[in-house]
Chains A and B, each alone.
Chain A
Amino acid sequence: MNARILALHGGLLALLLALHFLLPVYHHGNLARIMVLACYAIGYNLLFGYTGLLSLGHAMFFAAGMYGMGMPLYHLGLGAELAFLAGIAAAGGLALVVGLLALRTVGVAFMIVTLMFSQAFYLAILLAVRWTRGDEGLVLAGADRVLFGLDLTDPDIRYLLALGLFALCLSAALWLVRRPFGRVLVAIRENPERAELLGYDIFRHKLAAVVLSGLFSGAAGAAYGLMFGYVGASFAEVHFSIFPLLWVLLGGAGTVIGPFFGVLFMFYLIDISSGLTPAYMLVAGVALVLLTLFAPQGLVGEVRRRWLRWLP
């Protein structure tokens, strides 16, 4: 079983590496974006898919990573390597604080509290205009976007680094969910009272899941800003909290590779349908409704239900 799982996940990474040499330039660029956004979705899935906590405010962690990286780089001239780590640390710190407060609630209240925190974070970005340039955001100069001597304005380097980050996030998620820690998260999702009765500290496990989820999201945000040279408040808006929920639902909540396929599907659904009709949002909406009706567990979730029951 281990071999199957390794072959599947390793195979996906190998395929993505092969695509680096095969894809036309436009799709090559898209896939780099998709892999970074998939890291965000993987982080969201840890909390939602495995722990059963539905957050409506994850954009704040993505944006905390992005601004935590971008502001020291822009204002203090911090190197890209340190700035990237600063971004991840900012997101992790924010997740810890938000987790400590928001986890005092459950269910709908948790959704509302995370949404409110996220909105407060978004408004803080708008109001701290002296440092963030408000809604306009910051442009990171190409000369500053050099990571360990690698120029991030180069599309090949960008793709390979995106793949590296995705490989790291995917492996970390796979390792986490197959460890006892991951099993406890699933137990909390399925029956929190029972998990507690068995002696597990529910709060600490949930808090760890929030922080880990925040770290993944922050790493994705920091990488996105570094790779594409723009740090903007729109990444902290509420719709950017809804996206990871959609990606994870479409791809398959509680599956390790589901989030990647969710992002891929959604990205190309918008991209292709917008080329066919101006009413592309309608097309996307109908496709989402159909998918929800006929594959309620998402793409990979449906594959697991029908054929591959061993999928993690």
Chain B
Amino acid sequence: MSDPTKPGATPADPARRAALKTLAGAGAAAAALPLWARYTHAQSAAPIRVGFQMHATGIGAAYGRWYDRTTRAAARVINAAGGINGRPLEIVTEDDGTDPRRGAEVVEKFANQHRVDVAFGTLFSHVVIGSAPRAGELKLPYFVVSEGHHVASGMLNRWTLQPGITDVKSQVLAVAPFVAETLGRKVTMIFPDYAFGHDHRDFFSEAIAAQGGEVIAKLAIPPTETSFTRYFPRIPRETEVIYHVMVGPAVLTFVKEMGEFFGPSRPAIFGFIDSLEAVDLRSPGLDFLEGTYFWEGMPRYVQPDQTEFDRHFRAEVGIDENGASASDPRDVSTYAHMFGCWETLYIIKRGMEAAGYAGPQDRQKLVEAVEAMTDMPESNEHPQGAKLFNGRTHQVFGQQHVSRLENGRLDVVRTVPLEETFYPDEVDYTTRPF
């Protein structure tokens, strides 16, 4: 394992020297190149390796499939435009089974076996939280696409960033004024009884109170529940709005049973599209949701004011105007979230170019370059819309959408500008050591 460029390295043996001499003639042309040209060539030939931590199996598989397609499309487009610093981008994929234990192992595999430059793409909060400590110890920049509040809450580390997707706290803050002004001020929340649901409960209760509304009942549903009929009678009669964030396979049952309970006279209903990502909204049983409202990170259905950037994004990823695969209309995407992978890869590119990134020795410079970013204008790189990155909290902010379900499709009724999604910093990662 001696390095011939280092002093004291083992000299080549005579036979090897002789062989090199005979090769010298054939290699003359290459040798004639100036030193800098050979160096540049060697550098440009080596790809930038991005470890993609994919939820290929487990509960996150539907998201993982689309995160994968989006990531591959972005890498292809970036490479067609010359790569990063003139080097091609290579995606190294590992399945984490949507499991925090395997997630941490995958991060180690990226750093120590695949020797990737950065790791990226994790969605489910518990996998992020399980993997981030190892990324921090291995000093591997870890770009998550999770929308969890865990990054901005300060519980993670200097090496973990979320520059490509907004977090749940800013999303909830953004939609609260719409709920209070348009739908009603007395809200009953129905949410899964674990951390994701509790984040919604806490952030929304605070946000709606700031709008002069109140949460009059909080129905926490145990995660193992498969039937919900016994919870609906607990919804107070004076409820004006139901706010629901159920997720997982039971969501269709939840909607169907809610429809059976209320019949035609129901309060206004507001939900997060997270419940129905990768689900066809015309599925049997979902008709009860007609006329209800959803938060969307990026509108699934093409809107009348579609930007050229959305058009470009759909074309490159292979998405039709209804948010499904262009080759199979039944294969519905996770459109409200997956743009985050696309945008994050462009931020990695921009960060590496700003830092003059040449290899793993520049990982710290890369993190510092991303921390220094602020404005991200709406563009082909940021098709979801303009964003503002907060380097102190490692979290990006962007516009949010409220859409109404009408005739089996979602139409945007309000777009909340990014300035209305801010909240006070809870951490300053830039003061933490690397």
Contact = CB atoms under 8 A, between A and B. Distances in A.
B193 A26 contact: no
Contacts of A235: 101
B112 A29 contact: yes
Interface string A208-233: 00000000000000000000111011
A281 interface: yes
B137 A229 contact: yes
Contacts of A78: none
Interface stretch (A7-15, A128-136, A164-172, A178-186): A128-136
Interface in B206-263: 222-224
Contacts of B113: 26
Interface stretch (B36-44, B128-136, B388-396): B128-136
Nearest to B112: A26
Given A133-B195, A136-B125, A139-B156, A232 B100 contact: yes
B126 A232 contact: yes
A228 B112 CA distance: 16
Interface string B190-207: 000111101000000000
A33 interface: yes
Contact of A129 (B100, B112, B136, B194): B194
B173 interface: no
A139 B134 CA distance: 10
B282 interface: no
B109 interface: yes
A57 to B, nearest CB: 16
Contacts of B196: 135-136
Contacts of A26: 108-109, 112-113
Contacts of B195: 129, 133-136
Nearest to A130: B198
Interface of B: 56-57, 94-95, 99-101, 104-105, 108-109, 112-113, 125-126, 129-130, 132-134, 136-137, 148, 150, 155-156, 193-196, 198, 222-224
Contact of A228 (B95, B104, B126, B150): B104
A137 B99 CA distance: 12
A287 interface: no
B296 to A, nearest CB: 24
B133 A228 contact: yes
B105 A33 contact: yes
A274 interface: yes
Given A142-B137, A230-B133, 13 more contacts: A26-B108, A29-B112, A33-B105, A126-B194, A126-B223, A135-B126, A135-B195, A136-B150, A136-B194, A136-B195, A137-B100, A139-B132, A228-B134
Interface in A216-264: 228-230, 232-235
A232 B150 CA distance: 14
B95 A234 contact: no
A24 B125 CA distance: 31
Contact of A230 (B100, B125, B148, B222): B100
29 contacts: A29-B108, A30-B105, A33-B105, A126-B194, A126-B223, A129-B198, A134-B195, A135-B194, A136-B126, A136-B129, A136-B148, A137-B100, A137-B129, A137-B130, A139-B129, A139-B155, A139-B156, A140-B133, A142-B133, A142-B136, A230-B100, A230-B104, A230-B130, A230-B133, A232-B126, A233-B126, A235-B101, A274-B94, A281-B57
A265 interface: no
Interface in A253-312: 271, 274, 278, 280-281
A67 to B, nearest CB: 14
Interface residues on A, range: 20 to 34
Nearest to B96: A274
Nearest to B95: A274
A127 interface: yes
A25 B94 CA distance: 18
A56 B104 CA distance: 25
Shortest beta-carbon contacts, A-B, top 10 = A229-B133, A26-B112, A134-B195, A26-B113, A134-B194, A136-B195, A25-B112, A135-B194, A230-B130, A232-B100
A232 B130 contact: yes
A136 B136 CA distance: 18
A100 to B, nearest CB: 26
Contacts of A33: 105
Interface in A24-75: 24-26, 29-30, 33
B224 A278 contact: no
A123 interface: yes
Nearest to B130: A230
Nearest to A133: B195
A137 B133 CA distance: 12
A159 to B, nearest CB: 13
A123 B95 contact: no
A229 B136 CA distance: 11
A179 to B, nearest CB: 34
Nearest to A119: B224
A27 B319 CA distance: 41
Nearest to A232: B100
Contacts of A24: 112
A227 to B, nearest CB: 11
Given A274-B94, A280-B95, A234 B129 contact: no
A127 B183 CA distance: 31
B248 to A, nearest CB: 12
Contacts of B95: 274, 278, 280
B204 to A, nearest CB: 16
A28 to B, nearest CB: 8
Given A26-B113, A278-B95, A230 B108 contact: no
A132 B125 CA distance: 14
Contacts of B99: 234
Contacts of A139: 129, 132-133, 155-156
Contacts of B94: 274
Nearest to B137: A153
A118 to B, nearest CB: 13
A280 B95 CA distance: 10
Contacts of A228: 104, 133-134
B137 A234 contact: no
Nearest to B156: A139
Contacts of B194: 126, 129, 134-136
Contacts of A133: 195
Contact of A278 (B56, B136, B223): B56
